[in-house]
Amino acid sequence: MSDFVFNIAKGEVKNFCKLAAANDALVYVPIEATGIEADSTLKDYDDLSALLAGSSNEQTTLGRKTVTSATITVDDTNDRVDIDIADQTWAASAGNAVSAVLICYDGDTTSGTDANITPLTDHAFVVTPDGTDITLVVAAAGFFRAS
């Protein structure tokens, strides 16, 4: 599960995860350990461009991963919605240490910019690339739960 939901995405994550547009996707964005801002600061950013203009740095050697499908489960028994996406692997990892991965929504992967990417959730992901494959394992219950 996420460590926090960005303020801009509260109440909207399920709608974003429907991935209803022609060229939309969820995007994993690794964030470097050095310079990362406090959660209380990060959660106030409304788009990825503004977040990366702060002191937090994207770990660009690993690069972003896109997800084009999500599983949304409405659980009436437990009065909640769970959203799951696939685990992601970065092969032959390299670059600076990572402390978090953001899951963002990109409404148009063909022509949008970081200013059009909405950060949804932040997940602690502390790893130092060392040439081996790195896999981010999404929790069995999914990456997001609303209840």
What pLDDT, on the 0 to 100 scale, is given for residue 7? 80
The series of mean pLDDT values per 10 residues for the chain, 147 residues long, is 79 90 94 96 97 97 94 92 94 97 95 94 96 92 86
b or e along 75-108 (b: 16 or more beta carbons within 10 Å of the residue's beta carbon)? eeeeeebbbbbeebebeebeebebbbbbbbbbbe
What pLDDT, on the 0 to 100 scale, is given for residue 11? 83
